[in-house]
Amino acid sequence: MKQLLTKLLLVIFIASPFIARADEGMWLPMFVSRLNYTDMQKMGLQLTPEEIYSINNSSLKDAIVMLSGGSCTSELISSEGLLLTNHHCAYGAIQGNSTPDHDYLTDGFWAMSKDQELQAEGMTASLLIRMEDVTEKVLSELSEDMSESERDKMIAQVSDSLSNEAEEGTDYNATVKSFFEGNEFYLFVYITYEDVRLVGAPPSSIGKYGGDTDNWMWPRHTGDFSLLRIYTAPDGSPAGFAEENVPFKPQHHLPVSLEGVKANDFAMIMGYPGSTDRYLTSTGVSMAVELDQPARIKIRRKKLDIYKKYMNQSDDIRIKYASKYARVSNYWKYFIGQTTQVKKNRVIEKKEKIEKDFQMWADKGSNDNYKMALQWIDEGYEGIEPYKLSSTYLGEALFGSEIMLFAYRLSGLQGALSAEEPDQEKIDAQIQSARGRGAKHFKDYEEVIDRKVTAAMFEMYHSAIPSEQQPDDFLNMVKKNKGDFTKMVDKMFDKSFLSNETSFNEFLDDPSAKEMQKDPAMTLAMSFLMNFRGEIRAAMMESYSKMDKGNRYFVAGLREFQPSKSFYPNANSTMRLTYGQVLPYSPYDAVSYNFFTTIDGVMEKEDQDNPEFIVPEKLKKLHAEKDYGQYADKDGNLHVCFLSNNDITGGNSGSPVINGKGHLIGLAFDGNWEAMSGDIFFENKVQRTISVDIRYVLFIMDKYAGATNLIDELTLVRPVKKAPLPAETKNLQLKDYAE
């Protein structure tokens, strides 16, 4: 049985099973030679498979970095550990280092020397050492007569054993991941660095140009990039932030191309896509777009409105809540787009066609599990449907309240204090962890905002969820306060030591289980959690087990159904490679989009009365003087963004776009609106990746920011200038042409 709490608290990105085309597919790089290499060569790849992925020699994989466990991707671009990623990926670090006096969100930040670089607190950088197929080792411990929960327990045991074996005696961290719905298993071994520092970021008027309006849209004019650096202990080993640490020395860093891109050029992206579900059935898609996502959209819109009201009141609050607002806003619009495009692109009908063909094939065969797979899945969804909104509201609304989430995260301390035989060492460790968590929580916290959000979330939950699925403690509070949620929340905040930093630290100075148990915020958070675990999850467990079993056999059957096809697994925050071409597209009748945008478009969108479209004065001056330096295209203009038909999703933000020579040409940061259903079903004709042109990145670093110290670190690849033709050759050509 999958870990349901984790599954339901996280946003689940959903998608479907289509057979690969050159532009579709998120491939494990260890299989490039076997599955993709010939196609990639035909499209323009000039590297060998060993130069892309190798465990013995330096390869592209050694320049691809997973940020903070998979939140984003970055790439090494210098021999001194310099990382390039998206502005929105480092947004938390930029915001965390900002104050009203040093507003790096508004003004940008550039370290002109290494001693000016700032700690990116909480960020980590992981490099893949190797991946290994451990399917046989896992499956050998499983049997057909196991229940789903027994199967999952055994998988967890074997996975832990394999991970521990890979980590033993090293600085590595390892994990085993499931692929193809539990039919294959792979071990991933990483080395993770905890000292990551902020090096450079443009102002938000460049890095977030267009804001929510342009998010997921084309044409795009956003310089969505920032720079970080990995630091290690003096001996090169991972270490926490320390003054004596030194810049990381990578095995490989990406050369940076000044050649630019043209239509049909080969484009390859390597990164860490977070989550797709392209084997999701039509029933699952229906539940997502008809039940789950409308609720998420409604809840997030309410939070955004409250945040924005207070953010507009002061620079201090604006800075504190900038990162929180961005996180909520990004997938608020994503869910709107996905719901819209699932319907427009007729994804459910496409799924139904696949399922019909599969069932006809399965019914002719002898495998009863294949015959029953889709029925099990449908029955699973039928059993889950009455409780789905409870799980959605738990993650989005109840734990969308900062005080409720904070209380939930302190459950480890409560458990240690409440143990029958308290272990002081464990208690001290939990107290230390709580102090660090509290410092981070209260740094960017406004109690007045959280009171408003919590009251709104409680009211939405109470209105949307059947009363029999709500915990008694909560219902009693609502009744006692006669449905006045503001009054109810104010009482809770007034009596809780979690509502402000002073009372929280006073509690930690002399903590007790009794005080935690009587705290109204802790009590209510635990009540929500226990209600979910004891009532909601329990009611769904059998249905999830049936669905898990059905999905496993459905995917296994699909692969047997079409044995000549190469299938790729869903994204799961493991390194993937996707390849395709730089291409325009035509989303609607009589509408055609070019494959690139220029700085002219930045100026055309300017609106000084709209914070999303303010253009910095210096950028306007550079544009007016056409002072683009070596970063101009052959057409004389400065290109900003470009399109390719690569297959990406969340987690790929910051991934490098690499040409056929292995050189960096761009930085992936978004998908396009017309293909927002792409995580469910790849839309071959219109699905595009939006990337910032690396030349625009360099232009901003050099001409706008004057950070030539960073430009000097890079390995720049300039266009090869062809020698002029001899005069006699020119004459001959002219003569021949004239004749």
Q: What is the DSSP string of 196-220?
A: EEEEEE--HHHHTTTHHHHTT-SS-
Q: What is the DSSP string of 641-663?
A: EEEE-----TT-TTPEEE-TTS-
Exposed e or buried b per residue across 404-430, where buried means at least 16 C-beta atoms within 10 angstroms of its C-beta: bbbbbbbeebbebbeeeeeeeeebeeb
Examine the domain organization and report whether 551 and 488 are in the same domain. yes
Indicate whether 720 belongs to any domain. Answer: yes
Dist. CA 655–CA 73, nearest whole Å: 5
* 709-729 per-position pLDDT tens digit: 999 999 999 987 765 555 544
Give the CATH number, domain containing residue 721: 2.40.10.120
Examine the domain organization and report whether 620 and 691 are in the same domain. yes
Whether the CB-CB separation of 226 and 90 falls below 8 Å is answered with yes
Q: What is the DSSP string of 337-388?
A: HHHHHHHHTTHHHHHHHHHHHHHHHHHHSS-HHHHHHHHHHHHHHHHHHHHH
Examine the domain organization and report whether 388 and 535 are in the same domain. yes
Amino acid 730: pLDDT: 39
23 pLDDT band, cuts 50/70/90, is confident
Q: Give yes or no for residue 14 having a pLDDT over 60.
A: no
Query: CB atoms < 10 A from the CB of 323, how many?
Result: 19
Indicate whether 468 belongs to any domain. Answer: yes
The two structure tokens encoding residue 548: 């898990």
Whether the CB-CB separation of 700 and 622 falls below 8 Å is answered with no
Q: Give yes or no for residue 328 having a pLDDT over 50.
A: yes
Examine the domain organization and report whether 555 and 616 are in the same domain. no
pTM: 0.92
Q: Give yes or no for residue 436 having a pLDDT over 50.
A: yes
Half-sphere exposure of 629 (CA within 13 A, CB side): 15
Q: Give yes or no for residue 605 having a pLDDT over 50.
A: yes
Indicate whether 499 belongs to any domain. Answer: yes
Q: Give yes or no for residue 9 having a pLDDT over 70.
A: no
Indicate whether 6 belongs to any domain. Answer: no
* 105-128 per-position pLDDT tens digit: 999 999 999 999 999 999 999 999
Amino acid 348: pLDDT: 98
Indicate whether 540 belongs to any domain. Answer: yes
Indicate whether 78 belongs to any domain. Answer: yes
Amino acid 177: pLDDT: 98
Q: Give yes or no for residue 8 having a pLDDT over 70.
A: no
Provide the annotated active-site residues: 88, 224, 653
Examine the domain organization and report whether 619 and 474 are in the same domain. no
* 508-545 per-position pLDDT tens digit: 999 999 999 999 999 999 999 999 999 999 999 999 99
- Give me the phi and psi of 268, to 5 degrees please: -125, 140
How far CA 523 is from CA of 185, 300, 316, 447, 531, in Å, comes to: 40, 25, 31, 19, 12
Examine the domain organization and report whether 481 and 588 are in the same domain. no
Residues 583-607 have a mean pLDDT of 97
* 209-256 per-position pLDDT tens digit: 999 999 999 999 999 999 999 999 999 999 999 999 999 999 999 999
Examine the domain organization and report whether 715 and 652 are in the same domain. yes
Alpha helices in 128-255 (DSSP H): 135-139, 148-167, 204-207, 211-214
**Beta bridge pairs of residue 639:** 598
Range of the domain at 542: 354-560
Position 127: which residue type? L
Amino acid 723: pLDDT: 58
Tell me which of 541, 560, 579 is where a domain ends: 560
Examine the domain organization and report whether 528 and 597 are in the same domain. no
16 pLDDT band, cuts 50/70/90, is very low
Q: What is the DSSP string of 444-463?
A: T--HHHHHHHHHHHHHHHHH
Residues 45-49 have a mean pLDDT of 97
Amino acid 724: pLDDT: 59
Give the pairing type, strands 184-193 and 125-133: antiparallel
* 699-710 per-position pLDDT tens digit: 999 999 999 999
Examine the domain organization and report whether 538 and 684 are in the same domain. no
Indicate whether 141 belongs to any domain. Answer: no
* 557-576 per-position pLDDT tens digit: 999 999 999 899 999 999 99
Dist. CA 190–CA 652, nearest whole Å: 18
Examine the domain organization and report whether 733 and 696 are in the same domain. yes
Tell me which of 560, 583, 615 is where a domain ends: 560
* 367-412 per-position pLDDT tens digit: 999 999 999 999 999 999 999 999 999 999 999 999 999 999 999 9
Average pLDDT of the chain?
93
Examine the domain organization and report whether 249 and 358 are in the same domain. no
Examine the domain organization and report whether 665 and 702 are in the same domain. yes
Structurally, the chain folds into a number of domains equal to 2
Tell me which of 535, 560, 585 is where a domain ends: 560
Indicate whether 533 belongs to any domain. Answer: yes
